[in-house]
Amino acid sequence: MSAWFADPRTPLDLPLAPSGTPYQQRVWSLLRTIPAGQSQTYGELAERLGSAPRAVGGACAANPLLLLIPCHRVVARQGLGGFSAGVGREGSLALKRWLLDHESSLRS
């Protein structure tokens, strides 16, 4: 994990078995395909899943493994969108912003 903090392009490839609904599992699997330093909107993911943006947001909010399943890479069409890091709304959005900045800081 410390290697990721030094270089967010370091894969965090660990065996994962988070408990969730079949839909949440589909969303979480898709989130793991978004490369570090990039983001996609809730709407883009919903379109790929044949779903709705709010449903994608709900699955992101239920994500139990915030760094390993990078829901912070999902943003609103205009702005950051939400993030559920358990530190209140402002703290969660500050963390989301930091994670996105951290991952994009090493883009070449």
Active-site amino acid positions: 71
**What DSSP element (H or E) covers 40?**
strand 40-41
Pairing state between β 74-75 and 40-41 = parallel
Q: How far apart are CA 50 and CA 43, in angstroms?
A: 10
* Count of C-beta atoms within a 10 Å radius of residue 25: 13
